[in-house]
């Protein structure tokens, strides 16, 4: 293993930076010729093509959380973690067909705006503040920390803070150009991360083949993984028996078998892709067919993401298990991807660093743009300066971008939030999961049930959080370890826990029931309910083809690895 970089590595990295920055600047100059407009800066209204929307969705989604965190879960659990990616493909179909027509028909530009129109200002303000805290203190910090950790390991392991600052600065520069610059540079970013990611996976498999005496043959390496660790190629984990080892129980706590498909997995994906400013913002400035095609294109690309972000983790596990990665002994599973990259020959590390940087910078830029959009349009414009000019709001948006990134760097500098200890992927999923059940219940009922009231929404978002905390932290001690609704398992530390995806499902169920009961006490049709346009839900043949193709591929994958 060689951790040093050679001239070719630096050439690849510099070429990546020059191309992305140069293209971004060209887009910015083209946009600057027009008058300053908030919808253009925050949403790139009408200027993103379907392929730019799809690429931007993937580039913003695939980050250090996946490259490092999901690869780590692949190392620990195996292919079962691919559910997050593959169920996302189905979730994106549902969002393209059912969610996006309602958003576009009602000219929704931000999620707090949706809550204001459908419910009231109180609900919108509560959620705007929550989303700002979530994006800054959970998402930005975790992306920065995991990304800097991975790249730092590749460049020698002594420049963590410098790498962190460089990533933050590059992301800020991209973000200051506005959503159009982010959207079109994301096309390059997603190309780099896919090419670099596939190259890394291919090389990881050839390394496995070589170490096991089959030569540098990627297919032989994949077959070695299947034979050496068949338990890592099971999509559905069985429920732990009474005498199950603690390691297996810990895996089940993260990915609770078939149970998660009836509980939290759908909430995670539908809430993330359909009710999340950071993601859905890319499609809100387009017409219906462009937005719908872009979302479905992103869903199709999600099918291949586990090959890029999860399979190297399984390769790392097999190599570690057979004594080829001793540095992972007793270490964090989040080190699996970096350990694999350590095998790359000099000259190819530059491509891997460029791919990682592309994923990280795209996600940071998208996240900070969403922070800027929510703060400027839903807080500053409404509560601080109602008569703010277009130019003034763009300036405030840019100041917000810079401020949010500085805060994220401060909290990430010494890992004050303990991201490294929890494991990056689990850290993000668990802590966003505390609020997801209430938020998704509020959105799904607000979109599709005209009777839902503002009071029900406020109760729902608060109750969803309270129930999430209860089921995650206190339910086993209060209600017992085995009930009609759940089974709690030993954590190995003297306590019992319910799988957090199960907790999300239970929180969502009881929140939905409560919101429905409260709404039944109100009018049969809430005056603020959206008017449905049935025509907008119809899909054309090309859209149907994409949907059917995605479902067929997904069916084949589950049939193979069930």
Statement to judge: residues 132 and 28 lie in one domain: yes
Give the bridge partners for 439, in sequence order: none
Per-residue confidence at 420, pLDDT binned at 50, 70, 90? low
pLDDT digits over 72-118, tens only? Answer: 888 888 899 899 899 999 999 999 999 999 998 888 887 888 899 99
Task: Report how far apart the first and last C-alpha atoms of the chain are (Å, whole number).
Answer: 35
Residues 239 and 252 sit within 8 Å (Cβ to Cβ):
yes
The secondary structure of residue 534, as a DSSP letter, is G
Mind giving me the DSSP string for 331-382?
Answer: S-GGGHHHHHHTTSPTTTHHHHHHHHHHHHHHHHHHHHHHHHHIIIIIIIII
pLDDT at 354 over 90: no
pLDDT surpassing 60 at residue 492: yes
Domain membership flag for residue 503: yes
Residues 331 and 460 in one domain: no
The answer to whether residue 1 sits within a structural domain is no
Q: For residues 347 and 480, state if they share a domain.
A: no
In a shared domain, residues 374 and 400: yes
How many structural domains is the chain composed of? 2
Task: Tell me which residue of 96, 430, 125, 451 sits closest to 270, measured CA to CA.
Answer: 96
Are residues 447 and 306 both part of a single domain? no
Of all residues in the chain, what percent carry a pLDDT higher than 70? 88
Mean local confidence (pLDDT), 417-431: 59
Same domain, 508 and 419: no
Q: Quick one: 287 exposed, middle or buried, by C-beta within 10 A (0-12, 13-18, 19+)?
A: exposed
Token pair for 460: 């729902």
Is pLDDT above 70 for 150? yes
What is the structure's pLDDT at 108?
A: 85
Chain segment 327-344, per-residue pLDDT in tens: 776 656 767 887 787 777
The whole-number average pLDDT for the span 465-469 is 93
Predicted pLDDT of residue 1: 47
Q: In terms of domains, do 214 and 303 share one? A: yes
Asked, for residue 422, whether it belongs to a domain, the answer is yes
Instruction: Judge if 260 and 185 occupy the same domain.
Output: yes
* pLDDT at residue 517 tops 90: yes
Most confident of 14-18, 109-113, 373-377, 513-517: 513-517
Cα–Cα distance, 439 to 266 (Å, whole number): 13
Considering only 94-98, 101-105, 190-194, 516-520, which range has the smallest mean pLDDT?
190-194
Same-domain pairing of 184 and 303: yes
pLDDT value, residue 496: 92
Within a domain: 2: no
List the single range of 225-229, 283-287, 502-506 with lowest mean pLDDT: 283-287
The CATH number assigned to the domain holding 326 equals 1.20.1730.10
Residue 498 lies in a domain: yes
Residue 390 lies in a domain: yes
* Residues 206 and 292 reside in one and the same domain: yes
Model pLDDT, residue 557: 92
Interval 295-328: pLDDT, tens: 999 999 899 888 888 898 899 889 888 888 777 7
Same domain? For 358 and 343 the reply is: yes
Nearest to 138 by CA among 377, 363, 331, 290: 363
The pLDDT tens digits for 158-179 are: 677 888 888 888 888 777 766 6
Label residue 427 by pLDDT band (50, 70, 90). low
- Angstrom distance (rounded) from CA 361 to CA 59: 9
Q: pTM value?
A: 0.83
Please report whether residue 257 resides in a domain: yes
pLDDT band (50, 70, 90) for residue 456? very high
Average pLDDT, the chain: 83
503 with 356, same domain? no
Whether residue 190 is contained in a domain is answered as: yes
Phi–psi pair at 416, nearest 5 degrees: -65, -25
Q: How does pLDDT run across 204-227, given as a tens digit for each residue?
A: 899 899 888 888 888 998 999 999
Structural domain of residue 364, as residue ranges? 7-433+532-561
Confidence of residue 48 (pLDDT cuts 50, 70, 90): confident
């Amino acid at each position: 293993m060689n951790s040093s970089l050679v001239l070719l590595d630096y050439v690849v990295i510099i070429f990546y930076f020059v191309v992305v920055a140069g293209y971004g600047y060209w887009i910015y100059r083209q946009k600057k010729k027009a008058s300053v407009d908030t919808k253009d800066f925050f949403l790139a209204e009408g200027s993103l093509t379907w392929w730019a929307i799809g690429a931007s969705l993937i580039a913003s989604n695939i980050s250090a959380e996946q490259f490092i965190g999901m690869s780590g879960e692949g190392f620990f659990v195996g292919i079962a973690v691919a559910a997050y990616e593959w169920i996302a493909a189905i979730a994106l179909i549902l969002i393209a067909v059912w969610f996006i027509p309602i958003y576009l028909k009602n000219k929704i530009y931000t999620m707090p705006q949706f809550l204001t129109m459908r419910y009231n200002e109180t609900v919108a303000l509560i959620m705007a503040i929550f989303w700002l805290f979530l994006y800054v203190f959970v998402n930005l910090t975790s992306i920065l920390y995991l990304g800097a950790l991975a790249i730092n390991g590749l460049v020698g392991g002594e420049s963590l803070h410098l790498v962190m600052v460089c990533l933050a600065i590059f992301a800020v520069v991209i973000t200051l150009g506005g959503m159009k610059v982010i959207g079109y540079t994301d096309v390059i970013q997603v190309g780099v991360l896919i090419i670099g990611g596939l190259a890394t996976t291919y090389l990881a498999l050839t390394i496995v083949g070589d170490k096991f005496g089959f030569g540098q043959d990627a297919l032989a390496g994949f077959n070695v993984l299947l034979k050496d660790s068949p338990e890592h190629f099971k999509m559905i984990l069985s429920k732990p028996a009474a005498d199950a080892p603690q390691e297996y129980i810990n895996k089940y706590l993260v990915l609770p078998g078939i149970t998660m498909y009836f509980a939290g997995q759908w909430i995670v994906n539908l809430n993330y892709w359909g009710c999340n400013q950071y993601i859905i913002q890319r499609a809100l400035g387009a017409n219906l067919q462009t937005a719908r095609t872009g979302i479905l294109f992103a869903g199709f690309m999600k099918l291949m993401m586990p090959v890029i972000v999860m399979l190297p983790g399984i390769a790392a596990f097999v190599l570690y298990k057979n004594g080829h990665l001793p540095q992972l002994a007793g270490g964090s599973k989040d080190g699996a991807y970096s350990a694999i990259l350590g095998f790359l020959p000099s000259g190819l590390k530059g491509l891997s660093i460029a791919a990682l940087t592309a994923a990280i910078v795209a996600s940071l830029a998208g996240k900070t743009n969403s922070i800027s959009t929510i703060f400027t349009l839903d807080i500053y414009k409404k509560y601080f300066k109602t008569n703010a000019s277009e130019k003034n709001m763009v300036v405030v948006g840019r100041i917000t971008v810079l401020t949010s990134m500085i805060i994220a760097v401060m909290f990430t500098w010494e890992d004050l939030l303990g991201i490294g200890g929890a494991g990056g992927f689990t850290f993000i999923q668990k802590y966003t999961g505390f609020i997801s059940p209430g938020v998704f219940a509020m959105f799904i009922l607000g979109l599709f049930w005209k009777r839902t009231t503002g009071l029900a929404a406020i109760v729902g978002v608060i109750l969803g959080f309270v129930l999430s905390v209860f089921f995650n932290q206190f339910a086993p001690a209060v209600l017992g370890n085995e009930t009609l609704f759940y089974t709690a398992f030993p954590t190995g530390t003297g306590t019992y826990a319910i799988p957090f995806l199960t907790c999300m499902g239970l929180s969502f169920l009881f929140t939905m029931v409560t919101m429905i009961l409260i709404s039944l006490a109100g009018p049969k049709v809430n005056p603020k309910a959206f008017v449905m346009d049935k025509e907008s839900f119809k899909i054309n043949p090309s859209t149907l083809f994409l949907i059917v193709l995605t479902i067929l591929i997904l069916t084949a994958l589950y049939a193979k690895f069930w």
